Amino acid sequence: MASRGKSSKRTRARRVKRPSPPLPSTPWPTIEAFFESGEGDISLGSIDHDPGLHHTAVACDGHNMLVALVRNPGENLHQLLDRLEAALGPAIDDQIFIDEINGPSTPPKSRRP
């Protein structure tokens, strides 16, 4: 019986690919973190059947309305969520609130003695 000679082919060591870091589940990480924290609510929809408030996005924590947006003409849902994403961080971190539903509040006039 003849013995087989060793093959001249070398086997290359396989490189192990590192797994890619997980992608965010949404393009809105601030909204996602707020939602996941369970410390507030995000509502999308109409308010009191007012035709001007048919499409809104509102984010509230347990005490305050942080952001209240009304969809602009020609704005799609993705764009409205982009604006909510941009406004929510400053509302949480710096108490810079946006209220497009009620309009700006006017400070009370000071009374002269």
The 10s digit of each residue's pLDDT in 75-95 is 999 999 999 999 999 999 999
Per-residue pLDDT of 19-47, as tens digits, reads 655 566 889 999 989 988 888 999 999 88
SS3 46: coil
Q: Which helix (H) or strand (E) holds 90?
A: helix 77-94
- How far is residue 6 from each of residues 9, 10, 36, measured CA to CA in Å? 9, 10, 60
SS3 40: strand
CA angle 27, 29, 97 (to 5 degrees): 110
Backbone φ and ψ of 74, nearest 5°: 80, -5
The pTM assigned to this predicted structure is 0.69
